[in-house]
Amino acid sequence: MGATIRQNNADSHSRLNLSIIASSQHPTTAIHNPAHLSKITAMKSLIALIALSLITASVASECFDKSTYDSIDNDIEEIASGIDNEDDLIHFYGGLVRMVAHDFMDYDRNSGTPMGSDGCIDWDHEANRGLWGSLWCDDCELTKLYNHKYGHLSKADFWIAAANAVIRNLSVDKSLDLVDTFLWGRQDAESCEGQGDRIPTGSGCREVRDVFLDAMGLTWRDAVALLGAHTIGRGHQEFSGHDGYWMPSSREALVFDKQYYEELVMRPWRARNIGQREEDFIASTEMTHEEPQMMLKTDLCFWVDTDNHYPCCMRTNMWMDDQNWCDWEETLSDSKCTRYDNDSPHMEAVESVVEFLGGRRPSENNDPFYQSFAAAWFKATTNGHGSLKALRRRCSDIV
């Protein structure tokens, strides 16, 4: 089943002068008083659990028609239009896609409790930080929209339709329309113990294989396509420990296109946070970018071997202000990142990156990425569901 794709026009989105889904994150107010920290943490956990029990009742959609799908699309844009701060807008858009990804990335076909897209997320788990309280909560605009207007749908169905709206509205010329591949009928789970333990942390391609291939039953091509969603959103240190945009600027983090792959291949990435749990890569300095530009090891492993050769630097022959770029913060000029051998199973990922670039650079051809993303998104959001249905023409026709 393919997405509705329209030919993209050449426009101002050329990016060669230069974004698990770990990420669109947003800062919240921190509490620093150690005398009260444990009590406050316990109270927040209790409140979250109570709210979780109220918002995760087992619900299945009664009916879902095209007009309802379009209405969700319009309502998501209306919420977005009321967000004045660009960083908040990036958090809303990227966070919504991230929330859906965290709902489907817990699927394990080998488990007696497979989970998958079931409207259930362990909000207290560190892997899901940044979702509860700012995107999904009693006072959050998205939650209020669901409760007041779409409560007859399961959260799982609603979340996916809402994320589809984000993807369509941020794609070039709004050309990535996933309506033709949307199916409904998911039932929300009442509980999902251990959900957060299944979410990848961005440590590299061993994790990609474990989660996307072995547990979810996807391919390397699917995984590369899905992580292309990092083209929107950002990471925030307070939640994931990874600070920065995948894109060179906040403006470009509001466009859903193939630039993720261009950045992956073209930027001079060097290791950051070496020896810490949040090991990743950075391609910026305070002299070149207003905000840090970063990639996870899980991103860069689609191009170079970050599992077996880290820390490393992509361009050991690049200089800036009489200093080797790779030695800007750490001495890495003698540790160039290594490419995969031709017989490596990771070559499927490398070849997918090349394909999603859309041909000879520079190129405005997003079709290879859009088509592959639509196929992978369909697989990921329908995993474990055997009786989903296409949108009805009108629910009012049902007696």
DSSP reduced 3-state for 77: helix
Burial label for 281, CB within 10 Å (0-12, 13-18, 19+), is buried
Q: Rg for the chain (alpha carbons), in Å?
A: 21
The set of residues, in sequence order, having a beta carbon less than 8 Å from that of 251 and lying 6+ positions away, is: 86
The set of residues, in sequence order, having a beta carbon less than 8 Å from that of 389 and lying 6+ positions away, is: 64, 183, 184, 185
The amino acid sitting at 173 is D
DSSP reduced 3-state for 213: helix
Looking at the DSSP bridge assignments, the partners of residue 4 are 177
β-pair type (389-390, 270-272)? unpaired
Between CA 385 and CA 370 the distance in angstroms is: 24
What b/e sequence results for 252-264 when a residue is b if at least 16 CB atoms lie within 10 Å of its CB, and e otherwise? bbbbbbbbbbbbb
Q: Report the candidate in 91, 103, 102 with the shortest Cα–Cα distance to residue 28.
A: 91
Per the annotation, the verdict on 385 as an active-site residue is no
DSSP reduced 3-state for 277: coil
The set of residues, in sequence order, having a beta carbon less than 8 Å from that of 28 and lying 6+ positions away, is: 130, 133, 134, 238
Between CA 157 and CA 37 the distance in angstroms is: 37
DSSP reduced 3-state for 217: coil
Catalytic residue among 26, 102, 230, 236: 102
Between CA 62 and CA 184 the distance in angstroms is: 10
Q: Report the candidate in 249, 352, 337, 250 with the shortest Cα–Cα distance to residue 302.
A: 352
Active site residues: 102
